[in-house]
């Protein structure tokens, strides 16, 4: 995961958040819609990616191939939307065409308002969940984030103590 994400300048933690949402890290999972593997790639999308990469021998059930193809596609969605991760994640779920139409008709503006206005319930929830997963993994794996949160909590407690003391 780190290797494929790194080659594509993607955050490995964001890719983990996406995989968590797509498959719960079950390598051979098959969705009702036919999506396959860790990054839940549709077979037609897999064939399209393989043709773009010049590959003929691959298996979407193989974790290595699945992450290679999934990160390639996630990078593609990032490039389609000027490296905007929110739009790339929405696009990973709903497809670049749908997101392109929404951006064209509404613009992006405030990201929270854009997500709230996504007309597909599944995609709106998907964006929230992937970013929720991302934040949880940041808390688990990023010491800088944990240190900053501890610092903010300490500052909040100190400020709260001062306010209570001033009100006596």
- Judge whether 89 and 126 are in contact, CB under 8 Å: yes
- On the question of pLDDT at 168 being above 60, the answer is no
User: Bigger pLDDT: 42 or 145?
Assistant: 42
Angle at 30 between CA 102 and CA 35, to 5 degrees: 30
Residue in the block written with tokens 């490296």: 83
Intra-chain end-to-end CA distance of the chain, in Å: 55
Phi, psi of 69, deg, nearest 5: -70, -40
Q: Which is catalytic among the residues 22, 26, 28, 113?
A: 22
Of 27-36, 76-85, 87-96, 154-163, the poorest mean pLDDT is in 154-163
What are the boundaries of each domain within the chain? 2-142
CATH, domain 2-142, list 3.40.50.970, 1.10.530.10, 3.30.70.2190, 1.10.10.10: 1.10.530.10
Q: How confident is the model over 49-62, as pLDDT tens digits? A: 999 999 999 999 99
Task: Judge whether 22 counts as a catalytic residue.
Answer: yes
Q: Compute the average pLDDT of residues 93-102.
A: 96
Q: Given pLDDT bands bounded at 50, 70 and 90, which one contains residue 163?
A: low
- On the question of pLDDT at 145 being above 90, the answer is no
Q: Please give the pLDDT value at position 162.
A: 62
- Judge whether 33 and 45 are in contact, CB under 8 Å: no
- On the question of pLDDT at 166 being above 70, the answer is no
């Amino acid at each position: 995961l780190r290797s494929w994400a790194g080659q594509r300048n993607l955050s490995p933690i964001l890719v983990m958040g996406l995989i968590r949402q797509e498959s719960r890290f079950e390598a051979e999972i098959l969705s009702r819609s036919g999506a396959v593997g860790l990054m839940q790639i549709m077979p037609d999308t897999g064939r399209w990616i393989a043709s773009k990469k010049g590959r003929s021998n691959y298996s979407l059930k193989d974790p290595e191939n699945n992450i290679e193809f999934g990160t390639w596609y996630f990078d593609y969605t990032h490039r389609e939307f000027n490296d905007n991760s929110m739009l790339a994640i929405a696009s990973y779920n709903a497809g670049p065409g749908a997101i392109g139409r929404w951006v064209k008709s509404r613009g992006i503006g405030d990201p929270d308002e854009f997500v709230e206005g996504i007309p597909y319930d599944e995609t709106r929830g998907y964006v929230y969940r992937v970013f929720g997963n991302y934040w949880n993994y940041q808390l688990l794996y990023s010491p800088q984030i944990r240190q900053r949160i501890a610092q903010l909590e300490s500052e909040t407690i100190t400020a709260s103590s001062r306010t209570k003391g001033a009100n006596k």
